[in-house]
Amino acid sequence: MSSLTELTAHELKGLLDKGEISSKDLVKEHLERIEKVDKKVNAFMTVTKEEALKQAEVVDEKRKRSEQLSPLAGIPMALKDNMCTKGIRTTCSSKILHNFIPPYNATVVEKLMKADSIVMGKCNMDEFAMGSSTENSGYFPTKNPYDLNVVPGGSSGGSAASVAAEEVVFSLGSDTGGSIRQPAAFCGVIGLKPTYGYVSRYGLVAFASSLDQIGPFTRDMTDCALVMNEIFGHDHKDSTSAPVEVPDFTKALNNDVKGLKIGLPKEYMNEGINPDIIECYKQAVAKLEELGAVCEEVSLPHTEYALPIYYIIAPAEASSNLARYDGVRYGLRVEGEDIVSMFKKTRSQGFGEEVKRRIMLGTYALSSGYYDAYYLKALKVRTLIKQDFDQVFEKFDCLLTPTTPTTAFNFGEKVDDPLSMYMNDICTVPANLAGVPALSMPFGLSKGRPVGLQLIGKAFGEGTLLRVGYTLEQNTTLTRPRPELKGVM
Ligand code: GLN
């Protein structure tokens, strides 16, 4: 039998239901795995061992009493460290929140606890979710389970690596410009950024509020649908939460793409995309056509402006959101001669380089005299980008693109060159600007490193993405890579 940590949530559910394993066994097995693997991978900021074991006992009792349980009951999972967990340290991988213990749970955490999933811990990330490699964590970088010398992507690098290294069955991340999809692509797992408003942001530490969304990392589409079923839905605590019904996403798992119209946006296939990634992409297109989908080139003419306007809008919102870290209300406080010097010292010692860069960029773009030229202009271009999507979705059911221009890169390769780091998000930011859902799934390897395919859908059209992803999963062997964990085990 394969080891328990290899299995997906739906496979484990079968064993739990038959009584072949208990949730406590499962948690112990994953804790052992974390013990062994995480010394090298460094996916976790905090491991909540005692709480997890206790929670597992409670679920085992419920199962014994034949209570009606969620498909995720007793399944070990992890959270990005920007989701508030009552009584458990939540750092955002920032020194400024080194001692922050939230007095409440984020809505997604409440929902998963209600589903009896087991929180195993909090995952490392780029500080305040700003970055693409986890090298901006204020504590330590996370390593890619496929190769410890390369980055796992970011900013949800810890969440992606924890699932790829089989330390947990699934995890949650957040995506403002690609932070779920890019690390999913680099670590060979599935990552979904939902439609803006589909998942509550209550209790998610804000980076750029009009772009941020929480979503799952899983190892297959069925697990992705199961997690979506639990975390999606309207929440009166989040004023941007969409008041829509949540379907049963497992119903979208159909092995059938006949007649589906899939657009292939030409602007995403620029010269910056690595040839091996183009090869995998072409293979996926050929497979989908063979299975009856109609794939055609489409144009989203404003795509080239997505990255520059993202780097105005996201820092502008961040500069406002991060004003609250002042040494008074949360976390770190460095004393000074007077209140202004206390603010200055706290913020200059508490925030890392990248966070300071974003605050300065954002403050500049919002300042009087520059607001119209930068921020307001960027908002107008954002509307044009959204209209590009509206237009293609009149004729097409979804779009297929690479997730990233390259596979995982080496540590240190881009840290001193913020622009080349920002370029990594070129395929992912448009979906955040338009608020539409997008999913990254593994599709083959290039020189031993995973390649990610991105599916972009209509607002609230996550079902189509699952259907295409599931069909690819059923008809090729390229969608479930596993790291050898060389040098780890
Ligand atoms: N890498 C992008 C950034 O640094 C995206 C981050 C994210 O999605 N949180 O802004």
Q: Hey, which residues are catalytic here?
A: 80, 155, 179
In 3D, which of 268, 264, 327, 271 has the Cα closest to residue 296? 264
CA 175 to centroid of ligand 1, rounded, Å: 7
The confidence score (pLDDT) of residue 2 equals 64
Pocket flag, ligand 1, residue 207 (CB < 6 Å): yes
Residue type, 349: Q
What pLDDT, in 10s, does the model give residues 233-284?
A: 999 999 999 999 999 999 999 999 999 999 999 999 987 899 999 999 999 9
Which atom of ligand 1 sits closest to the CA of residue 310? Answer: 10
The identity of residue 165, as a single letter, is: A
Q: Which residues contact 383 (CB under 8 A, 6 or more apart)?
A: none
The DSSP code for 206 is P
The span from the CA of 83 to the CA of 122, in Å, is: 9
Centroid of ligand 1 to alpha carbon of 397 (angstroms): 27
Please answer whether residues 449 and 210 qualify as being in contact, where contact means their C-beta atoms are separated by less than 8 angstroms: no
- The predicted-structure confidence for 389-424, as pLDDT tens digits, reads as follows 999 999 999 999 999 999 999 999 998 888 888 888
- Is residue 459 within 8 A of residue 393, CB to CB? The reply is no
Instruction: Pick the atom of ligand 1 nearest to 432's CA.
Output: 8
Kindly give the number of the ligand 1 atom that is closest to the alpha carbon of 175: 8
Those residues whose C-beta lies under 8 Å from the C-beta of residue 419, and which sit 6 or more positions away, are none
Give per-residue pLDDT as tens, 157-209.
999 999 999 999 999 999 999 999 999 999 999 999 999 999 999 999 999 99
Q: Would you state the pLDDT for residue 330?
A: 83
Question: Could you tell me if the CB of 127 is within 6 A of ligand 1?
Answer: no
Q: Please tell me the chain's helix, strand, coil percentages from 3-state DSSP, rounded to the nearest 5.
A: 45, 15, 40
CA of 155 to the centre of ligand 1 (A): 6
Residue position matching structure tokens 């992409």: 281
Confidence (pTM): 0.98
β-partners of residue 218 are 190
pLDDT bracket for residue 343 (50, 70, 90): very high
Q: Is the Cα torsion angle 117, 47, 24, 189 positive or negative in sign?
A: positive
State the distance from the centre of ligand 1 to the C-alpha of 28, rounded, in angstroms: 34
- The residue written with tokens 């803006």 in the block is 196
Tell me the best of 92, 93, 124, 130 to mutate to test the pocket of ligand 1, counting ligand atoms within 8 Å of each CB and taking the most.
130
State the residue for tokens 């010269």. 271
